[in-house]
Amino acid sequence: MVGRSVLSVPTPSATAPAFSLWHAPEPLVEQFAAVFAVTQQEQARLMRLAAAMAAALPEHQREFVADDLALVMNVHPRTALAFAHRAVAADQLGLLTPMAAGEITDRHVAAVVEEVARWAPDDQTQQAQVVALVLERVRARLGLDGVWPSPGELRKRVQAAAVLLDLSAAEKAKKSAAQRRGVSCFQSAVGEGTLSIPGPEVQTVAMMDAIRARAEAYGRIPGDQRTLQQRMHDACFDLLMTDADGGESKVPALDADGVPTTIRVRGIEVQVLMPYSVTQGGDLELAEIPGFGPLLPSTAREVLAHADAVRQVAVDAGSGQVLAVEDRIPVRHDDTPVADEPAVDDPGDDPGDDPGEAPAQAPAQPPADGDATKLALSVMAQRPLQHTGEQRNDGYRIASRVLRAVRARDRTCTFPGCTTPARWTDTDHRDPWPRGSTSTQNLHCLCRRHHRAKQAYFTVELDDEGYTVWTTPDGRRYRRPPPRF
């Protein structure tokens, strides 16, 4: 019937209870409420324990209680860090008592903690005053309203109370947002990544406006069939890729005095781990961007078609562990011969520290079909392995062949659960140099946070099976297996 919708309800069977369209059966609601109350009480207890753990540690170790909790909870360190921060703050602000009593939930606690941290990030006394004022007013209205406000409503009341207590709170919040600005990326679905850029609202709106202005200009190109959202994504990509080739930046930077200055940019490099079968057209294996996630074979081949270089990573067919990481073979997407071209180092490597590195050899002319990628792959397949076994060099600085072997082996930070790509990490000597050697056996990849955690909280070793073993101050051991290819 036009203008009406019809709701179809299956006929109840003998084994399935009949549900009303308007409410769930009373006993199930009561059971849910009882379980929910117990869950919140136990969550409050967990938060008290986490806060107690932090309070029991010396100050120089306190921030790493979150990484200890990540090992216990088997979650990403960022997840544990958020939980630990919320637990400590909630304990200090007196929020765990009403939570355990069933007055508020963990979502209320999260909303209040996040908001007071924005308005008074460095003033615990003011944070406590704001929370006390809000809770007092909420309880005073319970006789009229009968219910606690939702987490979102409670957040707004915290904002209002913060301004009421201190009219400069808004300025503090603005400065806090500026201090927390940053960029992160993650794989949000198969074939999809998300770039997040939180920061001050004016800068964020200005960036969005710049992206939209370019996208709208694209829309005036005759025949452009992209949607506005597609054009905005492409505009963002084009704007960010301004310095992709490296060298002197096309966009001046500002020095400490605000004077425009020219900087040199390293340029970008996207590393993709690709099984040889995928390069030959196979679809039975997946490629990977280290620390990011799996890549469809078709996507990997699209990347390969425009690659600047290929590198062979030889792995043991049984264990999947890295045996050798060879020199890069440049890919020339033209008819220029590439014979006797020297090996190319990774950005950030130290080529001058590795005099024994051999040049990459290639046929003098590309194949008849002009496929430069096939040429490079054929060179890779024909060359004997040169960098097998343990790689090491004298001195503290790490030779490029040693560095790339460590990065290929670890792929990410070696703290259990951390997904920071190896090329964005510090390369740490497990045993400090010169007691420990500069070798693949003694080196591992650590993001900056877990580098500091290793120095202040954990001890780290590599066992005979290639597992990285992290030991807490009280002797608990957690093993991070070597990534398998």
pLDDT in tens, 108-154: 999 888 888 777 666 777 777 778 888 887 777 765 656 777 888 88
Quote the percentage of the chain above a pLDDT of 70.
83
The confidence score (pLDDT) of residue 120 equals 66
Beta bridge partners of 461: 469
> Is the CB of residue 115 less than 8 Å from the CB of residue 155?
yes
Determine the average pLDDT of the residues in 272-279.
Answer: 88
The confidence score (pLDDT) of residue 337 equals 41
The confidence score (pLDDT) of residue 402 equals 92
Write down the mean pLDDT value for the chain: 81
Under the banding of pLDDT at 50, 70 and 90, the label for residue 47 is very high
Under the banding of pLDDT at 50, 70 and 90, the label for residue 407 is very high
pLDDT digits (tens, 9 = 90+) for 335-382: 544 433 334 344 444 433 343 344 444 444 444 444 778 888 888 888
Under the banding of pLDDT at 50, 70 and 90, the label for residue 413 is very high
The confidence score (pLDDT) of residue 142 equals 65
The confidence score (pLDDT) of residue 471 equals 94
pLDDT digits (tens, 9 = 90+) for 166-206: 666 666 666 777 788 888 888 877 778 888 888 887 888 88
pLDDT digits (tens, 9 = 90+) for 305-329: 888 888 888 888 888 888 888 888 8
Under the banding of pLDDT at 50, 70 and 90, the label for residue 294 is confident
What amino acid occupies position 85? H
The confidence score (pLDDT) of residue 353 equals 37
Of 350, 335, 353, 430, which is closest to residue 395 (Cα–Cα)? Answer: 353
Determine the average pLDDT of the residues in 457-468.
Answer: 88
The confidence score (pLDDT) of residue 21 equals 52
Of 239, 231, 237, 238, which is closest to residue 212 (Cα–Cα)? Answer: 231
> Is the CB of residue 324 less than 8 Å from the CB of residue 408?
no
The confidence score (pLDDT) of residue 158 equals 80
The confidence score (pLDDT) of residue 398 equals 92
The confidence score (pLDDT) of residue 51 equals 93
Quote the percentage of the chain above a pLDDT of 90.
25
Of 326, 315, 389, 331, which is closest to residue 357 (Cα–Cα)? Answer: 326
Residue 241 has pLDDT above 60, yes or no: yes
Angle at 198 between CA 193 and CA 203, to 5 degrees: 120
The confidence score (pLDDT) of residue 245 equals 83
Q: Which residue has the higher pLDDT, 228 or 6?
A: 228
The confidence score (pLDDT) of residue 4 equals 42
The confidence score (pLDDT) of residue 156 equals 81
